[in-house]
Amino acid sequence: AQSVTQLGSHVSVSEGALVLLRCNYSSSVPPYLFWYVQYPNQGLQLLLKYTSAATLVKGINGFEAEFKKSETSFHLTKPSAHMSDAAEYFCAVRLTGANNLFFGTGTRLTVIP
């Protein structure tokens, strides 16, 4: 069965520091992978997606993620955290042929001034 695992339910970084949010997937075939962000009291917003066109995917707000098949990972990074990045981040997977997404448990990012 397809699933994603997000290591660390809570990550704190200082403003200006590197952001690294981890996501590992389990799938026998390379899936489509997504990162969504949820700001307080808002819905889920797509940050970026992996569709096999390129292993390094750039998203909005300076975020990027790299698909590593050997590690079955799709970690989200941002070189320099901003206060406005504080939110909940969800990794999600969709298998080819499936219509729905399966989400990880989410990682809450706190940015310390």
End-to-end CA distance of the chain: 41
The one-letter amino acid at 29 = V
Is 72 a binder of other proteins (CB under 8 A)? Answer: no
Is 103 a binder of other proteins (CB under 8 A)? Answer: yes
DSSP, res 15: T
14 beta partners: 112
Q: Supply φ then ψ for residue 61, to 5 degrees.
A: 60, 25
Cβ nearer to other proteins, comparing 12 with 42: 42
Cβ nearer to other proteins, comparing 7 with 44: 44
Is 89 a binder of other proteins (CB under 8 A)? Answer: no
> Scanning residues 1 to 60, which ones bind other proteins (CB under 8 A)?
32, 34, 36, 42-46, 49, 51
DSSP, res 91: E
Question: Footprint of other proteins on this chain (CB under 8 A)?
Answer: 32, 34, 36, 42-46, 49, 51, 90, 92, 94, 96-106
